[in-house]
Chain A
Amino acid sequence: MFVSSGDLTAAAVRKGVRIMAISKTEIEKLAKLAKLSFTDEELERFTAEFDEIIAFADTVNQSIEGGTEQIRSVDARMVSFDDLRPDEVVPSLPNDKILSNVEGYNGFFKVERSKK
């Protein structure tokens, strides 16, 4: 979603036209996915702020021939099979370390009931 609308914006910017990179409907959808609720006024404000952020991020696209897709496909940034991690066990962290920043219970993480 970001890549496509971003690319569109970048192309528009090059042509000297400025169109919105993200719509209010998309912000609403994101808010729903993130389980956040906003007033209409807040939504308007966030849409504008998001748009500015994306427009800024899109300057990357303008500085690289072929855009962000190009970055990903550069073969030099690829690892070969032999460079992958060998399947050898290393010791895990002790349970108290794993739980040191949370409220644990009998070795488990404990959170409020969450059911899909």
Chain B
Amino acid sequence: MNYEIVCGIETHIELATKTKIFCGCTTEFGGEPNTHCCPVCTGQPGSLPILNQKVVEYAIKAGLALNCKINTKSHMDRKNYVYPDLPKAYQISQYDEPLCEKGYIELDSGKRIGITRIHIEEDAGKLIHESGLTYIDYNRSGVPLIEIVSEPDISSAEEAKEYAEKLQLIMRYIGISDCKMQEGSMRCDVNLSLRKPGDPRFGVRTEIKNINSLSFIQKAVMAEAERQADILDAGGTVVQQTMRYDEGTNSVTPMRDKENSDDYRYFPDPDILRFCVDDKKVEEIRESLPELPFDKLKRYMNVLGLSEATAKQIFRYRMVAEFFEDTLAEGASVKNTANLIVVTIFSNMDTEEEKELFAIRISAAQFAALVKLADEKKINIGVAQSTLQKMLESGKPVEEFIKPEDLVGISDEALESLCKEAIDANPEAAANVRNGKDKAINVMFGYIMKKTGGKADIRKAEVLLRKLIRQ
């Protein structure tokens, strides 16, 4: 039997503010246990939480970037649950007045995945269970989070992955979070049910908690859809449960039943006043947004004329896109700049993280100085690549490697006589080219490059060589 996947994703993102959501303690990752704590974030009686302005600003930024309506009036609620990761026995969150509502993310197919809401809340502390005891570190308690809830519009594992990928990229671009899934600054919960195609009713859903990589999202959706399909095919019913995805076995197993304790008894937090953000402020925040990633991608292709493949490699890392645009601003050409980044600079970066960080030893101005030599055909692209590699390794500017006297171009006459010389020196290779073994021309290229220290224009040389060989 075929089923249709109905899937929604809840994403928690840690905001990159300096301080916690309700107190001035640092949000810095790590630190000795319980050293980033105060009476507020350890829930001491009589302490008073005060909302961090930056948290509201960042959440609104996220909302605007995801096409949401911003609620100018909002308040915080208490979500009650008894578990020692939150010392107050409740989490301060938002229930019926979230900051942002009704947005969307557009997939490559043009399909829009609705964003139901974005609300702000506090993160919980970290528990370590060991030999019958639980040790608690509240450094993370009170670190600001936004929770982004999607509509159940996702209907395949690929769409689930694309949604999370795009969300991550947009959040990184607007600078509100580093969204590192492996470090927990972005965490996804997947809600999934199956139904027969065309059936307007939803099936019983399960929730897969805390998925910590993009590819696991795709795998978890596939594994859970298969598990539910097997149950339904056998005539059974799916139990509403919280599940865990195990990457080792690529399987989904129950964590605990959705029981009564999920009655969170939300009510407005009486310690925190309702707050308003006027339209003028919202507009100010809107204007502070950078160009969003998919607008940038379109511009790179349609205005700058980059190929889709190249544009996609550059736009997906914010720092790379900035470096690329700074280099262009120095007067370097689009094509050579893009190619040198993608071919030479990226060859030094093996992981996504390295490209994301893009810690390189030369400035955009230094890079532009090199690119412009290639633009003006003073050096060929091969020399540009090898010189760039030396610059990256040493952090030294182009003048260290290419002296002005090296830049005297090779005249057409000189090149023609060099080509003749190359043919005379390699009669066998020349004969091979004449007989259709085209690759043999590389022997002559090698000769010319060696004689000129790599400065000859290889395309011109090729035309000349072919002409001379045919004579």
Contacts and interface: CB of A to CB of B under 8 A. Distances in A.
Interface of A: 1-3, 29, 32-35, 72-73, 75, 77-90, 92-95, 98-99, 104-116
B136 A109 contact: yes
A58 B7 CA distance: 43
A113 to B, nearest CB: 5
A81 B129 contact: no
Contact of B260 (A33, A75, A84, A95): A33
B82 A35 contact: yes
Q: Interface range on chain B: under 10, 10 to 19, 20 to 34, or 35 or more?
A: 35 or more
Nearest to A90: B24
A91 B83 CA distance: 27
12 contacts: A33-B265, A78-B273, A80-B277, A80-B278, A85-B53, A88-B24, A89-B24, A99-B34, A107-B35, A108-B33, A108-B34, A108-B137
Nearest to B272: A79
Contact of B56 (A84, A108, A110, A113): A84
Given A90-B24, A98-B34, A114-B84, 11 more contacts: A75-B276, A78-B274, A78-B275, A81-B57, A84-B50, A85-B24, A86-B53, A87-B17, A95-B33, A108-B137, A110-B135
A1 B57 CA distance: 32
Contact of A87 (B18, B128, B256, B277): B18
A109 B34 contact: yes
A116 B265 contact: no
A108 B83 CA distance: 16
A114 B134 contact: yes
Contacts of A34: 82
B275 A84 contact: yes
Contacts of A105: 135
Contacts of A84: 50-53, 56, 275
Interface of B: 17-19, 23-26, 32-39, 42, 50-57, 73, 75, 80, 82-84, 127-129, 132-138, 255-256, 260-261, 263, 265, 267-268, 273-278, 281
B284 to A, nearest CB: 10
Among A33, A73, A106, A112, the most chain B Cβ lie within 10 Å of the Cβ of: A33
Contact of A93 (B37, B127, B133, B137): B37
Contacts of A109: 34, 84, 135-138
Nearest to B15: A87
A29 B260 contact: yes
Nearest to B256: A116
Contacts of B24: 85, 88-90
A33 B34 contact: no
Contacts of A81: 53, 56-57, 275-278, 281
A107 B133 contact: no
A92 B38 contact: yes
A82 to B, nearest CB: 8
Contact of B136 (A29, A89, A90, A108): A108
Contact of B275 (A80, A92, A115): A80
Given A33-B260, A88-B19, A111 B133 contact: yes
A4 to B, nearest CB: 11
Contacts of A107: 32-35, 137
A116 B172 CA distance: 33
Contact of B83 (A73, A77, A90, A116): A116
A103 B127 CA distance: 15
For the complex of A and B, list the 6 residue pairs with the smallest distance between their C-beta atoms, beginning with the closest: A90-B24, A84-B53, A87-B54, A108-B135, A109-B136, A107-B33
Nearest to B81: A33
A115 B25 CA distance: 27
A98 B37 contact: yes
A87 B52 contact: yes
A1 B255 CA distance: 28
Given A95-B34, A106-B33, A88 B135 contact: no
Contacts of A32: 260
Contacts of A3: 267
Contacts of B39: 93
A31 to B, nearest CB: 11
A93 B19 contact: no
B165 to A, nearest CB: 29
Contacts of A82: 53
Contacts of B19: 87-90
Contacts of B50: 84-85
A89 B34 contact: no
A87 B266 CA distance: 27
